Each structure stands twice: as structure tokens, then as C-alpha cells.
Amino acid sequence: MSTIALYNDQGGAEAAMEAGQENSSSTGGAAFGLFSSDFKKNEDLKEMLESNKESLKLEAMKRVVGLISKGKNASELFPAVVKNVASKNIELKKLVYVYLVRYAEEQQDLALLSISTFQRALKDPNQFIRGSALRVLSSIRVPIIVPIMMLAIKEAAADLSPYVRKTSAHAIQKLYSLDPEQKEQLIEVIEKLLKDKSTLVAGSVVMAFEEVCPDRIDLIHKNYRKLCNLLVDVEEWGQVVIISMLTRYARTQFTSPWKEGATFDENNDKAFYDSDSEDKRDTTEAKPYTMDPDHRLLLRNTKPLLQSRNTAVVMCVAQLYWHLAPTQEVNIITKSLVRLLRSHREVQYIVLQNIATMSIQRKGIFEPYMKSFYVRSTDATHIKTLKLEILTNLANEANISTILREFQTYVKSQDKAFAAATIQAIGRCATNITDVTDTCLSGLVLLLSNRDETVVAESVVVIKKLLQTQPTQHSEIIKHMAKLFDNITVSMARASILWLMGEYCDRVPKIAPDVLRKMAKTFTAEEDIVKLQTVNLAAKLYLTNSKQTKLLTQYILNLGKYDQSYDIRDRTRFIRQLIVPNEKSGALNKYARRILLAPKPAPVLESSFKDRDRFQLGTLSHSLNTKAAGYQELSDWPAVAPDQSVRNVEVIEPVQEWAPSVGKTKKSGKPKSADKFYSDDEEEKKEEGSESSKDSSSSSSSSSSEESGSESEEESSEESEKTSSDSGKSSSGSEKSSSESESEPKKKKKTKKAPQKKSKPPAAFSDSDENGNGPVAQASSSSAESSSGSETDSEDSDPPATPQKKKKDVKSKPKAEVKSKVEVPLLDLVDFSPAPTNAPPSSVISSSLISDLEGLSLSNITSTMQVTTPSFGPVKTYELLHHMTGKGLSAKYHFPRQPCLYEPSMVAVQVILTNGSDHSLEEIHIGERSPAGLNIHCFNTIERLEPEASVTVSMGIDFSDSTQAAHFQLCTKEDQFSVSIQPAVGELLMPSSMTEQDYSKEQGKLLGMNETSATITMATANTSRLAISKQVLSVCNVGEVPSSQNTVHRFAGRTVSSGALVLVCLELKESSTALLTINTEKSVMASMLLRDLKQPLVQA
């Protein structure tokens, strides 16, 4: 035979194989002729596998896999297959792996031969080879290799490649199911992997956690915030697993948000994020309930996932909100759940089940979507019944007529099971909503003449239940049913009618005995349930109307006595003793009437989903309504929240994580960096500045700093609002902020110094004034000084004070200049930039110097109007370049609202560049721009940006007073990315300060075409002066004009490019309406501005 020849060729290594082969051939031989074809086929495969030709081997393996997929046994080929495990051909190798994983459990000894190949591959320099080797190795369910697997998992868990680490997380579960003894060691690995920051690993390791040690909640604490923040970027399947786990976690760690009197508005978070932990405890005592910021973090980070295309993710977020969110926030999930109803039938089934459970407790949230649950004739039966269930749950006084009209259509459905279910649903509506009980009853009575038996039977049963709730008025219906009795054959329905007759026999005194007579005739042929009710009816009639029915009753009781069913014999005997007086029956006889004709409580018609809420929504257990194996109970909220500090992470967050929220850092860091600017050394100051923001981020508010951009924007604006509102108060008021509390001493130091500086003669400025604006500047600053002198102590963001200080520093020495710049809150970002840019510090100094002077030159336009430094810092950070698009380089920008340092007609833009890749980026600069004539002042080329580092640079763009986006290219050494900056119309302005008289004078010139106005209804929260100016200033960069009337608020600004005046006036009228007027010759701008202003003023 050729096989043997081949064997000889292949040499000694295959001794073991030979043994294996003999084995299999002996089994094959034993099968004789009967299985000869099969035997031959495999023999032929074996031959192919042992040939020298790759293609033959591959062909053979494909056929073997075909056999496996059909569930046919191919185990006797094991030795022949396993030899190819080290093949060079990838497809062949993969197929061998498939075979190996399938049969290793059955052929453990032979499987061991392949192990060394995998062990070798585990050391391969290529991460994918390492990964797949571990994958296959761990899938071989052979107990002897447990130690090898353990070792491999441990090594892989520390691998540099996230892919390999992910594989190791999968391997943990496999090893655990193979040998649960390894649990402790595996938990150690899980603990280590949970710390992993890669999104690739997160889902898999949480899966392993859920499988191996779901009760070890303590492992999650430290990773909680990280998991929340990674969530959006984790692959969809991992998201499901993580969200389910976090739902359970949150229920053990946070207190219930469902208590009465709790306040939940989003604004509340603000309070959490800038107060430290002690402070929080205070507030908890003061208020009945405040949500833990971590709790809020989870809710906030899962919300965008409701838009996922993966239905499992959406459902999972929905259940998280259902189980964790404050009651008034739950309704955001409904829209998404209803959306899922457009998906595949199976998805609909699960989603409808969950909605059914939800709609019992909270019908309100699904009511607006009622029509989405209307049944279509093409729906599958189980979908139809679920929709019906939900419609019934949603029924209330207001919509019941619509629902009943809809039910009328369903009752006629060809699907009789569904029609029957509809009748039950009508019954439930009738009992729940008393208004329609009568309508429902008459409708059901009409159905009694239906042709279909199941429909009639169901109606009878439901009518019986309904009559029980209010029997008095309905003897007509009972009579009608008695008439129908002959035609109804469904036993349940017959029994129901008999029961009704007996129960209300006094209302139908003539008919009831007649029905009994008919029953006596057919008694023997009836079903058991009907017989029982006949006996029942007889007994009741005997008690109420013994004259007519005595004989009939005795006859029936005799029939029952000899019935085949012992149940009926038993009942008959009991009834006889109870109702027929004889010497043996004692006292009980007297009470027979009271026993049998006692008033009975009406049955309650309930939803079958009523008790399903004991299971976590979205789970298998919920779907089956029984506890599935491995179901993790969702615990009740703890009465007192466990220690929150367990989730604090001591590790300093890498730059990458706080960089995206620079907008926020700017804010929280503001007081601090300002405090520190008096320290002697510039370098130190920078360090401190960044450190302090790190501090603040690693303290109670660390979570907030890691947040996704939009959230942080919103939050930072809140914070800044807070800061600005606080600023008016004494410094003790601002101590609340956690960040400030540490820097308290420094602050004091500063406040002491500030007045000193001010006392210097302002005349000194004139030296530095290049444009010859000296006198004006002097005048402005000195007047500002005098007006705000007292405030400056407590408020470092006080606008008029800043230019003045700056100028002083300009005069004194360059070093101080840098510091003073820090003091201007809007410039403090520049403060972070010098270090990473490697730009010579002098250039920064000079540029900021120019900026100051530019600011001054602008103020010279008219003698009465000066450009003031804005009193409100815009905090909206926009994304310029996403790190995914930018191959690691990400850029965000915002408008610092300071006069541009390069040219007065430019709008200043600050760009924060962050390197999110793992290698340093070189030569970051601005490439070509469009439109071609676009005037951009670029930032200096950044020579090198280290991984995880970020740098802030300033640019100036001349938008020519239009909101058209400026497109340009952001280039690194290797790549170019097209980006664009689109300014909001409010950013194209410069604040201008003027007196009330000047204002009205200017306004007088800008009437007619130049005036745009609208009447708006203000949110009540916005009517205070402070609130109005805050809202207006948040939208546009204008200056407030002092006003003598309390109800009129005026703001003035100029467009940056052309210097056209823009006057905004808000006149409050009665009942919270207000007239918003904008006067400017740029009418397009005016209408845009009007639109932008309206929104924040109208909304609270």
C-alpha cells in the first residue's frame, strides 16, 4: 500500500502516530462491510493528509471540516491531522486548529503532541501569532495542560499588545471552566487586566470577571470611573457586558435616587464636581438626596449609546436607566426602545417583553407612543399578544376609546388565539377603568353571537368575571347567556354560565331551574368542570327555591354519587351533607345558605407581566420569567451609601485623559494658576499650574475631567458661571471649590500684593505705548481702577483691573509680564503652552505684549467708547481634528475673546493640540488654506510633540465679519489634515463700552433697516440682571452698558474686522415677555445674532 510507503519515507518521528493509526484502522476494520464506504472514505482522507502535497492536505482538511460541520465523527483521523499543526500554510493550519479544538477532549494523549508548537508560537514576535496560539491552546480542553495554560495566561496578561491581552482575558474563562480550582490565581490576573486602559481589553476582561468572580465587587471600585469613560469606545459586545456589570455595581454602591423630595436636575452635578468630598457630605446632610457624581457619570456616559445600531446595547442602556436613573430621566429611553420595534421579529419579541414590564409600573412614559404598538395582521402571534398586553397596560380614561376601537378590529382577527387574547384584554380594561365597564360588557355580549366558538367561550368567561364586579344591573345579560347556553360547547364557557346562574339565581328565578333541568338531562355527557358547576347550581337552587328544584337536585346528586370521577363523587357527598337536613348533619346544616351564597370577592384581572419586575430587565431570566442558571440578583439600593472614596484613583491621570477637557481645566485651574503667578520661578509656576489641575482632576472631580468633550464643555460653562457669580461674593464664598481650598494660602498672598501694585502711579504706561495711545489707556485704566479697586481683592477675573496690571508689568520686566498674563483669566491657557512648544519664551512674552497693546489701540476708536476686556470667558471648546482622523493628533479650539495679538481685524483662536498616538509628532504647522485670500496668522511650527503631551497655541483669523468657515490644513511631518474653524456670530465681536447717552445716540443712528427686533418670552430664571448678562455674554462677545432703568439691559460691541457697531438691547415687559432689539448696519449678522440670543434667554 502506498500509505505504508509514505510512512517509511517520513521517518521515525511518527512512531506515536503509527500507534494512533493502528488504533483507528482496527476500529475501522471491525466495522466490516456494513460501513465499508465510510471506512474507505476516511482511509482516503488519511492518505491525502499524509501526502507531501500541500494542496492535497488542504483538500483533505476541508473535507474533514465538512464532516465536523455536519456533526459526523472524524476523530479517527486525529493522528494524521495533528501532524500538520506546524504547517506553513495558514489556511491548512487554521483548519487543523478547528479540528484540534473539536477533538482534543476526546484524544487527550495525542493532543499533547501539539502543545509544544503552541508554546513556541507564544513567544513569536508577531502579536497575532502569539494571540492565536493562546487562543487555540486555551481551547484545548485537556486537564493536564492546566499549568501550561496558567503560565501562558499570566504571561499574555502582561503582553505589550492589547490584542494578546484580550486573548488572555478570553483564556481566563476557558481555563476556569476547565479547572475551577484555579479560581484564586485567575482572579489575580483579572485584577491586573481590569486595570488595563485599552478599550480592546475592557469588554473581554469584564466578561471574565462576570464568569469567574461576579461577587468580587471590590475589584471594580478602582476601575469604575475608567470603565465609565472608556465605555463609548469599547466594541459593542463589550459594551453590553460592561453596562450589565455596572448596573449591578451601581445598585450596591449608590443610594436610591427614587426617594421623595430628591432633586436631580443636571445643574446639580456642578455642585458635585467642584466641591470636595467633605463638602459633599455637608450637602448630603443638608439636602434629602443628592446623587453621587459617579452615579451621574455612569448615566451620562451611557446615554449616547442609546443611539447604537446594536439592539443589545440599546436595550442594555435602557435597562440601566430603568434600574438606576431618577424617575424623571427614565423617559429618554422610550424613543430608542420604540425604534427597536422596527428591527427583526426576534428583537421585537424581547423588546416588547421588556416594555410590557415597564409599562405596568410607568404607563406614562410609553403613552405617547401608543400607536407604535398597534397590531398588524402580518405580525407573528407572540408579537401580537405582547402588543396587546402593552396596549392594555397603557389604557387609561383618556385613551380608552381609541384603544377599544382598535380592539374591535383585533377581535375579528383570523388568528383566533389572538382574538381570544383581545377579549381578555377588553375584560381587563373594563375592570381597570370603570367608565367603560358597561360599554365593554355590551360589546362582549355582542360577541356571544359570534360564529367562532373560542371567541364566544372567552367572552363568556370574561363576562362572568365582569359581572362579578357589579352584578346588580345585569340580569338581562345573564338571561341572554342562558339562552345561548345550548349552543355553547366549550366546557369552560358552559361552566361559567352555570356558575353565574347559581350565583345570581335570585335575579333569574324562572330561568335558573330550567337550565338545571336541561343539565340534568345531559349531566352524564358533560365534562368534569361542567358537572361540578351543575352540582353547585343544584345546591344553590335547592337553598333558594327548593319547591321547584328539590327533585331535580336529588336526581343530580344521585348521578354525581356514581360518577366515574372521584372529584365529583366527593363534591356530591359534601353538598348532600351540607344542604339536605338529616339527623346526622349537625350544626353545619344551618349555615349552608351562608356558606354557599356568601358574597364573593370579584377576581382581579392582572397582567401576566406583573411579577416580572423581580428580574433585571433585558436578561434571559426576565424573558423566561424563571431564574436562569447564573443569574445575578440585582440588589436593592443600600440605605446608606458605602464609602465613595474607594473609587478614587491615586494614580495621576495621564495627560491624554485630561487634555480633552482643557476648557474645563482652564476654568478650574483659573483661580489657582492666578494664585500662583506670584511665585518667583516661571518654570515652577507652569509645573504647578498643570499639577494643580491634575490635583483637581484626581480629587473628587477626577471623573469630570476625563469626560467626553461635550459634557465637559457644558460643565465647564456651568463652572465658569459659578465662578463668575461667585466672584462678586467674598473670597470665603469661593472657598467652596475644592481646587481653591488647597491654594488658599497663596491666594491670600496675592490679595495682599494686589493693592500694593495698584498703588503704583499709572503714568508709567506711557513709556511702553507704541501707538501713542498713552493718555487714553491711562485714563481708561485709572478710571477702571478707581471704580473697581475694592473688588479686585476678591476677584481676580475682574476685567478692568487686568489691563492695568499688565501694563505695569510690561514696564517693569519681561518676567513679570508673563506672570501678569496669567492673571488675565482668558489668557491663562497660553500659560500652559510655552513648555511643550519649545518656543523661545521671549517670543511668547513679546506676542502677549503686542496683544496688550493691540487691545489698547482698539480702544482708541472713539474717545467715548473703549473696547473693554470681556467680563465673561466663553468656554465652548470645539473639535478641530479628532484623534482618529488625525492619526493620533487631536486638536480642539476655542475663542479666548481677547483682542488678537497679531492684527486688530483678526479673531483670536486658541488651539489645543494633543498627541494621542504612541510616537512623537514632529513639525506641526499650518499648511495651505482656503479661501485663498484668507488671512490667517499661523502659530509657530511646533518642532516636536511628545506622546500624551498637549500644547496650546494661539492663532488669528480674519473672518471678515462672516461666519463662513476658515478651512486650512494642519500638517505634521508625515500627514496633512484638512480642518475648518467656523466661528459663531457672537465671536466676531469685540466688546465696546460706552455711556448710556452715547448708546442712545448711536442707537438713534441705526434705526430702520438697521434695526432687528423680536419679542420673546423669557424663562423666569433669566430675568435677573446677572442672569441676563450672563446669558447674553455667553452668546456674544459684547460689553455691558450701564443702565439707569432696571428693566432695560444694554450691551455694545463692534465687529472685529470692520469695526461696525453692534448694539443689543433687551427691554423687559410685563409677564416675562421682553423685547430684544439689535441695531447694526450688518443686518445679516443681526438676524443671526438675534437667533442665537433668543435661545438661551428663552430656555432656562
Partner 1 sequence: MIHSLFLINHAGDIFLEKHWKSVISRSVCDYFFEAKEKAVEPENVPPVLQTPHHYLISIYRDKLFFLSVVQTEVPPLFVIEFLHRVADTIQDYFGECSESLINDNVVTVYELLEEMLDNGFPLATESNVLKEMIRPPTILRSVVNTLTGSSNVGDKLPTGQLSSIPWRRAGVKYTNNEAYFDVIEEIDAIVDKSGTTVFAEIQGVIEASVRLTGMPDLSMTFMNPSLLDDVSFHPCVRFKRWESERALSFIPPDGNFTLMNYHVSSQNLVTIPVYVKQNICFFETGPCGRLDITIGPKQTMGKTVEALMVTIHMPKAVLSANLTATQGNYSYDLTTKVLVWDIGKLNSQKLPNLRGSLSLQSGAPKPEDNPSLNIDLKIQQVAISGLKVSRLEMNGEKYKPFKGVKYLTKAGNFQVRT
- The site for partner 1, by CB under 8 A, has a size of 107
CA–CA gap between residue 563 and residue 151 (Å, rounded): 75
- Whole-angstrom CA distances from 402 to 408, 550, 860 are 10, 50, 71
Angle of helix 528-544 relative to helix 511-522, nearest 10 degrees, comes to 140
Return the DSSP state at 1076. E
Q: Which of 23, 885, 935, 941 binds partner 1 (CB under 8 A)?
A: 885
Q: Which of 976, 965, 938 is nearest to 954 (CA)?
A: 938
Q: Which of 621, 702, 952, 1012 binds partner 1 (CB under 8 A)?
A: 621
> Residue 71 or residue 933: which is nearer to partner 1 going by CB?
71
> Residue 368 or residue 509: which is nearer to partner 1 going by CB?
368
- Whole-angstrom CA distances from 267 to 33, 274, 788 are 83, 12, 31
Compute CA 556 distance to the chain's CA centroid, rounded to the nearest angstrom. Answer: 67
Asked if 977 is part of the footprint of partner 1 (rule: CB under 8 A), the reply reads: yes
> Residue 135 or residue 428: which is nearer to partner 1 going by CB?
135
* Residue ranges in 316-355 that form contacts with partner 1 under rule CB under 8 A: 316, 335-336, 338-339, 342, 344-347, 349-351
Q: Which of 12, 451, 639, 974 binds partner 1 (CB under 8 A)?
A: 451
Q: Is the dihedral of CA 879, 882, 883, 887 positive or negative?
A: negative
Please state the closest distance from residue 313 (CB atom) to partner 1, in A.
8
Asked if 948 is part of the footprint of partner 1 (rule: CB under 8 A), the reply reads: no
Region of 696 on the Ramachandran plot (φ > 0 left; ψ -120 to 50 alpha; else beta): alpha
- Whole-angstrom CA distances from 1016 to 712, 1039, 1068, 1091 are 29, 22, 10, 11
Answer whether 1021's CB lies under 8 Å from 1100's CB: yes
Please state the closest distance from residue 430 (CB atom) to partner 1, in A.
22
* Residue ranges in 24-83 that form contacts with partner 1 under rule CB under 8 A: 54-55, 58, 62, 65-66, 68-71
Lookup: cell for 1029? 448678562
> Residue 172 or residue 1027: which is nearer to partner 1 going by CB?
172
Angle of helix 511-522 relative to helix 546-561, nearest 10 degrees, comes to 20
> Residue 222 or residue 1094: which is nearer to partner 1 going by CB?
1094
Answer whether 454's CB lies under 8 Å from 419's CB: yes
What would you measure as the largest C-alpha separation in the chain, in angstroms?
130
Read off φ and ψ for residue 915, nearest 5 degrees.
-100, 105
Give the range of 30-38, 375-383, 737-745, 1001-1009 binding partner 1 by CB under 8 A: 375-383
Asked if 170 is part of the footprint of partner 1 (rule: CB under 8 A), the reply reads: yes
Asked if 162 is part of the footprint of partner 1 (rule: CB under 8 A), the reply reads: yes
Please state the closest distance from residue 370 (CB atom) to partner 1, in A.
9
Asked if 91 is part of the footprint of partner 1 (rule: CB under 8 A), the reply reads: yes
> Residue 499 or residue 631: which is nearer to partner 1 going by CB?
631
Return the DSSP state at 104. T
> Residue 515 or residue 979: which is nearer to partner 1 going by CB?
979
Query: What is the CB neighbour count within 10 angstroms for residue 960?
Result: 17
DSSP line for 806-845 = HHHHHHH-HHHHHHHHHHSGGGHHHHHSHHHH---HHHHH
Give the range of 432-440, 523-531, 621-629, 1083-1091 binding partner 1 by CB under 8 A: 621-629
Give the range of 97-105, 111-119, 265-273, 359-367 binding partner 1 by CB under 8 A: 97-105
Answer whether 992's CB lies under 8 Å from 865's CB: yes
Name residue, grid cell 351562608: 594
Return the DSSP state at 1028. H
* Residue ranges in 109-138 that form contacts with partner 1 under rule CB under 8 A: 126, 128-129, 135, 138
Asked if 406 is part of the footprint of partner 1 (rule: CB under 8 A), the reply reads: yes
DSSP line for 706-764 = TS-HHHHHHHHHHHHHHHHHHHTS-HHHHTTBHHHHHTHHHHHHHHHHHHHHHTS-GGG
For residues 626 to 665, the per-residue mask of contacts with partner 1, x marking binding by CB under 8 A and - elsewhere, is: x-xxxxx---------------------------------
Asked if 454 is part of the footprint of partner 1 (rule: CB under 8 A), the reply reads: no
Q: Which of 2, 8, 37, 378 binds partner 1 (CB under 8 A)?
A: 378
> Residue 628 or residue 646: which is nearer to partner 1 going by CB?
628
Q: Which of 144, 151, 380, 651 binds partner 1 (CB under 8 A)?
A: 380
Give the range of 17-25, 116-124, 405-413, 956-964 binding partner 1 by CB under 8 A: 405-413
Please state the closest distance from residue 988 (CB atom) to partner 1, in A.
18
Answer whether 1032's CB lies under 8 Å from 984's CB: no
Please state the closest distance from residue 627 (CB atom) to partner 1, in A.
9
Asked if 979 is part of the footprint of partner 1 (rule: CB under 8 A), the reply reads: yes
> Residue 330 or residue 568: which is nearer to partner 1 going by CB?
330
CA–CA gap between residue 710 and residue 704 (Å, rounded): 11
Asked if 382 is part of the footprint of partner 1 (rule: CB under 8 A), the reply reads: yes
Asked if 376 is part of the footprint of partner 1 (rule: CB under 8 A), the reply reads: yes
Region of 129 on the Ramachandran plot (φ > 0 left; ψ -120 to 50 alpha; else beta): alpha
Return the DSSP state at 912. E
DSSP line for 141-177 = --GGGHHHHHHHHHHHHT-S-HHHHHHHHHHHHHHHH
> Residue 176 or residue 902: which is nearer to partner 1 going by CB?
176
For residues 719 to 738, the per-residue mask of contacts with partner 1, x marking binding by CB under 8 A and - elsewhere, is: --------------------
Query: What is the CB neighbour count within 10 angstroms for residue 748?
Result: 12
* CB hemisphere CA count around 511 (13 angstroms): 22
Q: Which of 148, 194, 230, 315 binds partner 1 (CB under 8 A)?
A: 315
Q: What is the 3-state secondary structure (H, E, C) of 774-786?
A: HHHHHHHHHHHHH
> Residue 617 or residue 1041: which is nearer to partner 1 going by CB?
617
Lookup: cell for 420? 381570544
* Residue ranges in 205-244 that form contacts with partner 1 under rule CB under 8 A: 207, 232-233, 235-237, 240, 244
Q: Which of 595, 604, 651, 884 binds partner 1 (CB under 8 A)?
A: 884
Asked if 311 is part of the footprint of partner 1 (rule: CB under 8 A), the reply reads: yes
Asked if 918 is part of the footprint of partner 1 (rule: CB under 8 A), the reply reads: no
Q: Which of 189, 200, 429, 1065 binds partner 1 (CB under 8 A)?
A: 200
Q: Which of 100, 66, 101 is nearest to 80 (CA)?
A: 100
Q: Which of 183, 363, 882, 1094 binds partner 1 (CB under 8 A)?
A: 882
Asked if 413 is part of the footprint of partner 1 (rule: CB under 8 A), the reply reads: yes
> Residue 339 or residue 569: which is nearer to partner 1 going by CB?
339
Please state the closest distance from residue 1078 (CB atom) to partner 1, in A.
24
> Residue 766 or residue 969: which is nearer to partner 1 going by CB?
969
Lookup: cell for 290? 443628592
Give the range of 376-384, 484-492, 1050-1058, 1083-1091 binding partner 1 by CB under 8 A: 376-384
Asked if 174 is part of the footprint of partner 1 (rule: CB under 8 A), the reply reads: yes
* Residue ranges in 238-257 that form contacts with partner 1 under rule CB under 8 A: 240, 244
> Residue 292 or residue 458: which is nearer to partner 1 going by CB?
458
Q: Which of 87, 168, 308, 952 binds partner 1 (CB under 8 A)?
A: 308
Lookup: cell for 1062? 453692534
Asked if 878 is part of the footprint of partner 1 (rule: CB under 8 A), the reply reads: yes
> Residue 412 or residue 1025: which is nearer to partner 1 going by CB?
412
Return the DSSP state at 616. P
> Residue 378 or residue 472: which is nearer to partner 1 going by CB?
378
Q: Is the dihedral of CA 897, 898, 899, 901 positive or negative?
A: negative
